[in-house]
């Protein structure tokens, strides 16, 4: 048996257009997070790291949320270019889910007008701050419609046990084989 | 009673003449997934989930794809119910249903009790390989007790059939064509304006998704009750009125 300590996996979690519920569920892993910290370095995460720029050479990334604006899109492309195994994390990443419901209004302009003018009390104005407030994309898209995805982890949010069932094999360098209502049910 | 013998997944099965392939498979404890089919209502083969591969029918040797719910078993048929091709077709059917409408499980009245959601698990759909359409559809809340959300309707026509065949009111029908196809009440009127509706709620009881619902239901609160329809149909056909 080898006594060499295996290299710690470089793990990231990413938050695109979602409610952060998937990340809250990730935190629900509770004491298993301590074990995770022994087996992986959290190199980028809104709940586990102060790193602002997505790093290179990431082994596993959990990507929560649909792709709704130019910031989401740029970050996702950077994640894809620097990550070995991209996990589409939760229903928003996989189906666009609740952020995607704005797609039924047909385009970003009707959405902005509805939210900032029609429902405003008379003082409404459309947000316009180039370079500060990212532009909305015409449609919110699931992650895999824009970049290749290795693993799908459905759920709104995926329960902590389901996240662990995906991470355990990933930390061993294997792809998880998820099936059954406990592991792949939407909603 | 005459009997015919056929093979399902290489097993010999003998059934009375006139039995459908779906009934024959279920009698042999071979599960075939269904969605539009509901015991107690006529079979219409709308969803195509119960497609099976049939050889030896009409002397043909190449496998034919037939809907088990409307195909009558025949002597010498050889039926396969779970080939890789069929499993791929079934997953594709479910993906088509999810992407064709707007099915947002997380906020649905039927979340956790939905036949479409459960079938996605059964066929192994962890994502859709087809792009989502996000069609514009409306919600009819004109009825005093019930609502109809077209976003969640998969056009299985169970509501159309139960209202026509069991309630005898024929409030529901199918209107328009192609991507505009939808369930209509009356002559395309708001549900609440259709005088033929008896407010019995059978359509809500048999709806497999959250499309038809009680107005009092919020997310995860809708439970379908096909057993009520089946008890009624059984009582009528056997003249057995006490449970």
The CATH number that domain A9-104+137-178 falls under is 3.40.50.700
CB B157 within 8 A of CB B140: no
Nearest to A98 among B106, B112, B151 (CB): B106
What residues in A contact B106, CB-CB < 8 Å? 91, 97-98, 156, 186-187
The CATH number that domain B3-82 falls under is 3.10.20.740
What residues in A contact B108, CB-CB < 8 Å? 187
Q: What pLDDT sits at residue A3? A: 57
Question: Mean pLDDT over all residues of chain B?
Answer: 96
Q: How far apart are CA B111 and CA B118, in angstroms?
A: 10
Q: What pLDDT sits at residue A129? A: 93
Cβ-based neighbour number of residue B195 at 10 Å: 9
Q: What pLDDT sits at residue A7? A: 85
Tokens of A114: 């509805």
Nearest to B134 among A94, A98, A100 (CB): A100
- pLDDT band of residue B44 (cuts 50, 70, 90) is very high
Q: What pLDDT sits at residue B242? A: 81
Q: How far apart are CA B217 and CA B223, in angstroms?
A: 9
Tokens of A79: 């994640």
Q: How far apart are CA B145 and CA B124, in angstroms?
A: 36
Domain ranges of chain B: 3-82, 89-228
Describe the crossing of helices B84-100 and B115-122 by its angle, rounded to 10 degrees. 140
Q: Does residue B26 carry a pLDDT above 80? A: yes
Q: What pLDDT sits at residue B58? A: 75
- pLDDT band of residue B57 (cuts 50, 70, 90) is confident
Tell me the helix, strand and coil percentages in chain A, rounded to 5.
35, 20, 40
CB A64 within 8 A of CB A90: yes
Predicted ipTM of the assembly: 0.93
Q: How far apart are CA A179 and CA B116, in angstroms?
A: 16
Mean pLDDT of B48-74: 93
Mean pLDDT of A141-152: 98
Question: Mean pLDDT over all residues of chain A?
Answer: 95
Q: Does residue B85 carry a pLDDT above 90? A: yes
DSSP B193-235: G-TT-----HHHHH-SSSSEEETT--TT-----HHHHHHHHHH
* Minimal CA separation from B148 to chain A, in Å: 17
Cis peptide before B234 (omega within 30 of 0): no
Mean pLDDT of A134-148: 98
Q: What pLDDT sits at residue A4? A: 63
Q: Which tens digit of pLDDT belongs to each residue from A101-123?
A: 999 999 999 999 999 999 998 88
Nearest to A97 among B104, B120, B121 (CB): B104
Q: How far apart are CA A158 and CA A181, in angstroms?
A: 11
Q: What pLDDT sits at residue B195? A: 97
Tokens of B135: 């069609």
Q: B131-157: b or e for each residue (b if 16 or more CB lie within 10 Å)?
A: ebebeeeeebeebeebbbbbbbbbbbb
CB contact under 8 Å between A186 and B117, yes or no, is yes
- Cα B172 to the chain's mean position, in Å? 16
Distances from the Cα of A174 to the Cα of A4, A85, A94, A163, angstroms: 19, 10, 21, 15
Q: How far apart are CA B69 and CA B49, in angstroms?
A: 10
Mean pLDDT of A132-160: 97
Q: Does residue B49 carry a pLDDT above 70? A: yes
Give one word for B220, left, alpha or beta, with left for phi > 0 and alpha for psi -120 to 50: left
CB A9 within 8 A of CB A41: yes
- Looking at 3.10.20.90, 3.40.50.300, 3.40.50.450, 3.30.70.20, the CATH number of the domain B89-228 comes to 3.30.70.20
Q: What percent of chain A has pLDDT over 90?
A: 94
Q: What percent of chain A has pLDDT over 70?
A: 97
DSSP B36: S
Mean pLDDT of B166-171: 98
Give one word for A149, left, alpha or beta, with left for phi > 0 and alpha for psi -120 to 50: beta
Residues belonging to chain A with any Cβ–Cβ distance to chain B shorter than 8 Å: 88, 91, 94-98, 100-101, 103-104, 106, 139, 142, 144-145, 149, 152-154, 156, 178-181, 184-187
- Report angle CA A46, A81, A157 to the nearest 5 degrees: 40
Dihedral over Cα of A45, A51, A52, A58: its sign: negative
The reported pTM is 0.95
The verdict on B135 touching A (C-beta cutoff 8 Å) is yes
> Residue ranges of the alpha helices (H) in A40-178?
70-81, 91-95, 108-113, 160-171
* Minimal CA separation from A108 to chain B, in Å: 14
DSSP A118-130: ITS-S-------T
Q: Does residue A2 carry a pLDDT above 60? A: no
Mean pLDDT of A80-106: 97
Q: Does residue A47 carry a pLDDT above 90? A: yes
H or E stretch at B27: helix B21-27
Cβ-based neighbour number of residue A105 at 10 Å: 16
């Amino acid at each position: 048996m080898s006594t060499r300590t295996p290299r710690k996996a470089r793990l990231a979690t990413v938050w695109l257009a979602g409610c952060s519920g998937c990340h809250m569920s990730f935190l629900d892993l509770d004491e298993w997070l301590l074990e995770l910290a022994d087996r992986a370095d959290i190199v980028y995460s809104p709940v586990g790291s102060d790193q602002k720029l997505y790093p290179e050479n990431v082994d596993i990334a959990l990507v929560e949320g649909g792709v709704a604006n130019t910031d989401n899109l740029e970050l996702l492309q950077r994640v894809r270019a620097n990550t070995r195994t991209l996990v589409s994390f939760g229903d928003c990443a996989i189906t666009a889910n609740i952020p995607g419901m704005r797609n039924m209004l047909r385009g970003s302009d009707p959405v902005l007008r509805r939210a900032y003018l029609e429902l405003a009390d008379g003082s409404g104005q459309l947000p316009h701050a180039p370079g500060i407030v990212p532009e909305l994309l015409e449609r919110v898209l699931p992650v895999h419609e824009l970049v290749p995805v290795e693993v799908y982890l459905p759920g709104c949010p995926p329960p902590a046990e389901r996240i662990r069932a995906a991470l355990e094999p990933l930390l061993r360098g294997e792809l998880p084989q998820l099936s059954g209502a406990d592991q792949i049910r939407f909603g | 009673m005459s009997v015919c013998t056929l093979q399902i997944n290489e097993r010999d099965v003998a059934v009375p003449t006139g039995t459908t392939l779906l009934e024959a498979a279920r009698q042999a404890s071979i599960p075939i997934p269904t969605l539009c089919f509901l015991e107690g209502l006529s079979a219409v083969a709308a969803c195509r989930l119960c497609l099976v591969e049939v050889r030896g029918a009409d002397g043909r040797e190449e496998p034919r794809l037939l809907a088990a719910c409307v195909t009558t078993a025949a002597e010498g048929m050889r039926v396969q119910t779970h080939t890789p091709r069929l499993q791929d077709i079934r997953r594709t059917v479910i993906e088509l249903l999810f992407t064709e409408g707007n099915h947002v499980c997380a906020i649905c009245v039927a979340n956790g009790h939905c036949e479409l959601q459960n079938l996605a698990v059964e066929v192994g759909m962890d994502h859709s390989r087809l792009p989502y359409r996000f069609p514009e559809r409306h919600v009819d809340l004109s009825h005093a007790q019930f609502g109809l959300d077209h976003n969640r309707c998969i056009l299985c026509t169970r509501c159309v059939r139960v209202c026509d065949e069991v309630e005898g009111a024929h409030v529901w029908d199918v209107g328009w064509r192609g991507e505009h196809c939808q369930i209509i009440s009356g002559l395309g009127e708001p549900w609440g304006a259709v005088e033929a509706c008896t407010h019995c709620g059978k359509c809500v009881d048999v709806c497999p998704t959250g499309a038809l619902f009680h107005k009092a239901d919020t997310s995860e609160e809708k439970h379908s009750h096909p057993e009520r329809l089946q008890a009624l149909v059984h009582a009528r056909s056997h003249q057995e009125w006490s449970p």
